[in-house]
């Protein structure tokens, strides 16, 4: 059994309020949870309007599945938000 942990930092230059950011974050997290059955949450920069940092974690049976899952989640985020991924950190424990 392995734990797959990912952190994504996104940049959304068109966001001008925390309310607007919250709508984007909540939508993306709900889509991730529904599609991949993972734990996801905004983990930092809650007070910054244009930066979003999301953490995602899942338990997987082996490293190959963790790699596939992480790649799939990164593609999913790219396709389901207009925000640019400026950093991603992936870890398997």
- Residue-range domains of the chain with CATH: 2-92 (3.30.70.1120)
Residue 45 has pLDDT above 90, yes or no: no
* pLDDT band, very low/low/confident/very high, at 16 (cuts 50, 70, 90): very high
Place of tokens 């953490």: 55
CA dihedral in degrees (57, 11, 26, 71; nearest 10)? -30
Q: Which residues contact 37 (CB under 8 A, 6 or more apart)?
A: 58
End-to-end Cα spacing for the chain: 9
Q: What is the CA radius of gyration of the chain?
A: 13
pTM: predicted TM-score of the whole model, two decimal places: 0.88
Place of tokens 């938000």: 81
């Amino acid at each position: 059994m392995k734990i797959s942990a990912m952190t994504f930092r996104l940049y959304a230059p068109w966001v001008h309020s925390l309310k607007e950011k919250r709508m984007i974050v909540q939508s993306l997290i709900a889509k991730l949870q529904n599609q991949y059955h993972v734990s996801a949450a905004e983990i930092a920069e809650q007070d910054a309007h244009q930066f979003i940092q999301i953490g995602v974690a899942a338990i997987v049976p082996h490293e190959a599945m963790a790699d596939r899952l992480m790649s799939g989640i990164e593609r999913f985020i790219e396709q389901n938000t207009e925000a640019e991924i400026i950093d991603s950190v992936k870890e398997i424990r």
